Structure 1
Amino acid sequence: MHFSKTAALAVTPLLVSAAPSLETRQAVQKVTVNLATKYQTIDGFGFSGAFQRANLIVNLAEPKKTQVLDLLFNTTTGAGFSIVRNGIGSTIDSSRDYMNTILPKCPSSPTGEPTYVWDGKDSGQLFLSQQAVKYGVKTFYGNAWSAPGCMKSNKQDMNGGSLCGLSGTNCGDWKQAYANYLVKYVQLYAEAGVKVTHLGFLNEPDFSTSYASMQSSGSQAAEFIKVLRPTLDKANLTDVGINCCEATGWSVASQHASQIASAGAESMVYAMTSHEYTSRISGTMRTTRRVWQTEYCDLNGAWSTGWYSNGGAGDGFTWANTVFNGIVNSNLSAYLYWEGVQDRATNNNPNEKLILIDGQNFVVSKRLWAFAQFRVVRPGAVRVAASGGSNLKSAGFVNTDGSVAVVIINSAASAQTVGITTTGVTLTNPVITAWVTDNSNDMKEVVVTLQTDKSATASVPARGMISFLVKEGAVPPVVG
């Protein structure tokens, strides 16, 4: 098997079987990974614990608490998520499922001295983040749904309104005060051992809701970005990236990106961010920045745990294709599901979550395992070209350690034998591991055969998914 030569890695040798029969060889669907054709850098995959959903994990007794955390973050037995999106609260208390603000009472003027109040819990999100750190997660996205109400044109954190000081408002100028507020949040998390790496100041600004919400155009967002970036820099937070603007859909997010560029603030943004509720991802966004899909789920479908049932919106197979489309067809650097966990009562128990927590019990959906198939793609990986095979969707990646990840979806109604090969310099002792997910398997390791033609083959079930990870090994494999 041909791969780019890298430094040797100490890995456990894979079980490698003898070569298949001639008939099986003839049926192999070949996928070629071209390491020379490079696309976007991957920041990772993640989820949110906002609106007090993280408290559901906090309230679990052991060993179930650890079991759920393993499902979310473990890179060997779970989904291996590498991004946590936390909601920055704006409500004066945490009644219902609201997220409380660190500034329950604003000063009388934008230049007044703020009195911040930190409860050390942040609706359970701090605990979730601290646990994620233990699993090696390094990307934490703090995202505000709204500024505190006193800083807005409608004087409340809900029902839309705009940040005072932006074009079109006439309520004083609270831009600097809001920037200071966001910086304080980052500092409080740092003091608790969690480094916030990305910061967002809007959520669905094209939509007014009865809960925390704040409206803005891309041009108005650019006005605030020009205040927030130097405020972060002055606070020695130069490595905190600004994300914007969390539109309800791809088309509006694309408009925001264009407006921010026109306003001269594009270079101050780390990633342009979008949801997929009002318009699905299609094509690539015209921006020089990275692009993240930061929230989407099936809000209507009743809770389901299935992998494939005629292509239902909540099916694991549907989500495998959804994430694949974003990463491969639209060059996303990150894809985040909405909620990692949720209870049965919320919103009539739809497929908003990956894991249902019901009191002290939990149930895992196949959507989680669709994301788990991408755990072979680690932060910093570069997507490379991959193609070939009938009824297959394939994506290739080179991780920062030199390993090569190949993620393949089998759309056929029958199992197929897939063979992967790459263009490039020959790897001395390739050790290849593969895992499959379908109706019966959850990221199950399967036998890989290294053929005499240097390809590696394995069987992927009907409407299933397979992920290969190729590393340099110390022990030569058995060649069929």
Structure 2
Amino acid sequence: MTCCDNIGWKSQMDYTAKLAELDVQKYLSVITSHEYSSSPDQPMNTTLPTWMSEGAANDQAFATSWYINGGSNEGFTWAVKIAQGIVNADLSAYIYWEGVETNNKGSLSHVIDTDGTKFTISSILWAIAHWSRHIRPGAHRLSTSGVIQDTIVGAFENVDGSVVLVLTNSGTIAQTVDLGVSGGTFSTAQAFTSDAEAQMVDTKVTLSDGRVKVTVPVHGVVTVKLTTAKSSQPVSTTVSIQFAPTSTSVKHTLAHQKASSTTLSTVKTAASTQTASAVESAKDVKYPVLPVTSKGSAKTATKKGSHRSHKAHSAAHRRCGHGIHRRDHCTN
């Protein structure tokens, strides 16, 4: 059983506090929240896994741009939302409202629009892919310390021993990052980047003497996958910004950065099921977590069987304000 799909994270925090006060969390498996009135930016006060179970730019027309001015219909905006949710709010799942719709360019309630023959992809899909394509079921979250300017760092260790880092740069200068790895022997490094020019494409990464170097573009995301033989030993990684400035495709002014470091070490907490439409981080799972459907236009595991249009859904949110909406009524 999950609870409570509130309209926003802040409202759900109030609901969760009341659940704890009434001692009913023991009957639940997951705390769930929507992201319409507020986004997850801090951990929920609970020992249960937490999901952002529904969010979308329903009031925006379908769009494909990655970054123009930080609008809610841009892929990078959602890349930051996902990073903040997983890293800052300890989410175990991040689920966009819909996968696919047919001939509905009037709303960004979905990430793929099709006319039955051709299809158009929103760049929000690539924001999701950075967290779901290489972070796989059973992954353990890696803790981080230190600061990389304007960059959110998320790191995971998969069950096969590979380590995946996702770096999200909100700044106006590119960041060249050096990864010093200890506690594991990595044989290959792959990196995939998204920015205003291209999304989820291969990018240059250097692996030499146990160190990895990669550049995170302006308003961009880079996913780095380090492959190693499976090991039960903790893996620690040191990340530091280099002094050499890096040019960018959008011609922002360059500046030298002060060196800083981030230390990544294994945190032994189990991840819940990872799917293409649900971005999931690793948080201590003390209760079984249901898998989330990833194909078609299914919403979430807790929304199975709901077939309302996005217009009806959005109208319900507006009618209920900050309360919970159900098919025919509001619960405040």
TM-score normalised per structure 2: 0.64
Would the aligned equivalents of 1:271 and 1:290 in 2 still touch at CA under 8 Å? yes
| Equivalent in 129, 134, 155 of residue 376 of structure 1 | 134
Q: Quote the offset at 1:461 in angstroms.
A: 2.4
Check if 1:389 corresponds to 2:148: yes
2 CA distance for matches of 1:334 and 1:458? 27
Residues 191-340 of structure 1: pairs in structure 2 closer than 5 A: 242-340=1-99
**Unaligned 5+ residue runs, structure 1?**
1-241, 475-480
Partner of 1:408, secondary structure, is strand
Kept in 1, the 8 Å contact 2:162–2:229? The answer is no
* Mapped pair 1:361 → 2:121: no
- What amino acid does structure 1 have at the position aligned with 2:140? V
Contact 1:251 1:279 in 2 (8 A): yes
CA distance in 1, matches of 2:202, 2:229: 18
Question: How many angstroms apart in 1 are the aligned matches of 2:51 and 2:72?
Answer: 21
Look up the equivalent residue of 2:192 and give its one-letter code: W
What CA distance in whole angstroms lies between the structure 2 residues aligned with 1:292 and 1:380?
A: 16
**Whole-angstrom CA distance in 2 between matches of 1:429 and 1:409:** 23
Per the alignment, residue 190 of structure 1 pairs with none
Partner of 1:472: 228
Gaps of 5+ in 2: 231-332
How much identity, in percent, do the aligned residues show? 35
Match of 1:449 in 2: 206
Give 3-state SS (helix, strand or coil) of 1:395's partner. strand
**TM-score normalised over the length of structure 1:** 0.45
Shift in CA distance, 360/256, structure 1 to aligned 2, threshold 3 Å: same
Cα distance in 1, alignment partners of residues 41 and 173 from structure 2: 29
Q: Answer 1 or 2: higher relative contact order, Cα 8 Å, separation at least 6.
A: 1
CA offset at residue 277 of structure 1?
1.0
- Aligned residue for 2:36, secondary structure, equals coil
In 1, distance between residues paired with 2:128 and 2:77? Answer: 11
Query: Does the 8 Å contact 1:431/1:473 carry over to 2?
Result: no
The one-letter amino acid paired with 1:296 is G
For residue 429 of structure 1, report the CA deviation from its aligned partner: 4.1
1:257 deviates by 1.9
The structure number with the bigger radius of gyration is 1
SS in 1 for 2:81: helix
Structure 1 or 2: more helix by fraction: 1
394-403 or 310-319: bigger deviation: 394-403
Residue by residue over 1:93-112, the C-alpha shift from the partner in whole angstroms, topping out at 9 and shown as x without a partner, is: xxxxxxxxxxxxxxxxxxxx
**One-letter code of the match for 2:180?**
T
Q: Which residue of 1 aligns with 2:180?
A: 421
Query: After the TM superposition, which residues 33-72 of structure 1 pair with which residues of structure 2 at under 5 Å, given as runs?
Result: none
Q: 1:461 aligns with which of 217, 221, 235?
A: 217
Matches of 1:278 and 1:326 in 2, distance apart? 15
CA distance in 2, matches of 1:344, 1:405: 36
* CA offsets 1:26-66 (integer angstroms, 9 cap, x no match): xxxxxxxxxxxxxxxxxxxxxxxxxxxxxxxxxxxxxxxxx
Distance 2:206 2:229 in 1: 15
Aligned counterpart, 2:292: none
Query: CA 1:296–1:391 in structure 2 vs 1: closer, same or farther (change >3 Å)?
Result: same
Contact 2:40 2:85 in 1 (8 A): yes
| Structure with higher strand content | 2
Matches within 5 A, 1:88-237: none
1:436 maps onto 2:223 in alignment: no
CA separation of 1:411 and 1:282: change in aligned 2, threshold 3 A: closer
- Whether 1:351 aligns to 2:108 is yes
Q: Residues 357 and 363 of structure 1 are in contact (CA less than 8 Å); yes or no, is this contact kept in structure 2?
A: yes
| Aligned 8 A contact 1:391 1:411 in 2 | yes
How far the C-alpha of 1:245 sits from its partner, in A, is 1.4
1:314-372 Cα deviation digits (max 9, x unpaired): 11110110000100111111100001112334xx7121111112242210011000111
What SS does structure 2 have at the residue aligned with 1:421?
A: strand
The CA RMSD over aligned residues, in Å, is 2.0
CA contact (8 A) 2:160 2:229 kept: no
**Aligned letter for 1:417?**
T
1:390 CA drift (Å): 2.7
Give me the whole-angstrom Cα distance separating, in 2, the residues matched to 1:271 and 1:349. 33
SS in 2 for 1:401: coil
Distance in 2 (CA, whole Å) between partners of 1:380 and 1:429 is 20
Give the partner amino acid of 2:118: N
Cα distance in 1 for residues equivalent to 2:198 and 2:177 = 17
- Paired residues of 1:395 and 1:408 also in contact (CA < 8 A): yes
